[in-house]
Chains A and B, each alone.
Chain A
Amino acid sequence: MSFEAFLIVAAIMFCIGLYGALARRNVLAVLMSIELMFNSVNITLVAMAKYLAPAGLQDDISTVLTGQVFAVFIITVAAAEIALGLGIVFAMYRTNETVDLSEATQLRY
C-alpha cells in the first residue's frame, strides 16, 4: 500500500474515465466517465495529503490537511457539475428526443 500504488490506481481510473468521456455516444455515459475522473483526482489529492510533506509544514502543521480541503472543494464542484449536466441532458432530450451526442449538432454549423 505504497504512495505510488495509490497514484497508479488513480491514474488507471482517470484514463478509463478519459476514454469513456471521449469515446461514448450516450451523454449519460460521458457524465459518468467524468465522475470517474473527479474521483481519481480526489484519491490523488488525499494520498498526497497523507504521504507528502507540504512546503509550509515547519510553520503550520495543519498544512497536512490541504489536500483534504481541496478534495472537499472538488466534491462540491462535482455536485454542481452533475446538477447542471443532468439539466442539460433533460433539455436536450426534450428537444432532440435522444441522448445521443453524435446527433446533437444544432450548434455545429
Chain B
Amino acid sequence: MLFQDIVFWILAVMAIAGALGVVLVPNLFRAALLLIVVFVAVAGMFILLSAEFLAVVQILIYVGAIAILIIFAVMLTRDVQHGNLPNRMNIPAAVFAALLFTALVAVAVDTKWEFLPADQQERAELVQVNAVTTLTGEVLDDAGVSPEDQAEVQESGLADLLISDYVLPFEAVSVLLLAALIGALVLVRPNLGTGRG
C-alpha cells in the first residue's frame, strides 16, 4: 500500500505540474510536450485504479494520436514561440476556476460516499481484472468464487458490456466518430465551396 501511495503522489504531481505547464508555458510546442506528460500520468493513475485496458487506450489514443495531431497543428501554424498569451478574461477566468475548485473540493470531502461493501470488494476486483482478460475457472476457484458465480464474473468484461447493455450508445458513438471524421475532411479540403477538390 505504501508503494502505491508513493506512485500515486508522484503521478499526481506529474499531472498537476504538467497541466499548469500546458496552460502557462509561453512556447506552444513545449506546452504540447507537457500535455504528453499529463496523458502518461493519467494512464498511470488508470493502472492504479485497476483499469489496465483504459491505460493502454489512453497511451494509444491520447499520446499516440491526439498529442501527435496537436504537435502537427502547432508546427503548421505560425507564432509558435509566443503564441500562448492570455486574453482580457485572464483574471475573471482565474477567479471563476478557483471558485469552482473550492466547490468541487467541498463536494468531494463533504459527500457521504457509498463505498463498495467489504464483502463485495474481492468480487469487484475480480470483475475489473476480468474486464480485459477472461479469467479461467482455476483462477476463480483459487480466488474462492463459487461455481455458480463464476459465469457471472466471466461474462462481465468491458467488451461484453459494450455489445450487450451499452450497445445503443456504442453504435451512436460510432456514427458520431464517422460523422466527425467526414466533417473534418470537408473542413480541411482546399477550395471550400467551389466544387473543386
Q: Which residues of A contact B (CB under 8 A)?
A: 1, 3-9, 11-20, 22-26, 28-29, 31-33, 35-36, 39, 42-43, 46-47, 49-53, 57, 60-62, 64-66, 68-69, 71-73, 75-84, 86-91, 93, 98-102
Contact = CB atoms under 8 A, between A and B. Distances in A.
A89 B49 contact: no
A83 B120 CA distance: 41
Interface string B2-19: 001100100010011001
Interface of A is mostly: helix
B184 interface: yes
Contact of B54 (A42, A87, A102): A42
A87 B183 contact: yes
Contacts of A19: 23, 93-94, 96-97
Contact of B156 (A22, A31, A62, A73): A62
Contacts of B96: 18-19, 22
B147 interface: no
B116 interface: yes
Contacts of A86: 69-70, 73, 184
Nearest to A81: B180
Contact of A82 (B70, B89, B94): B70
Given A1-B48, A11-B101, A73-B169, A23 B89 contact: yes
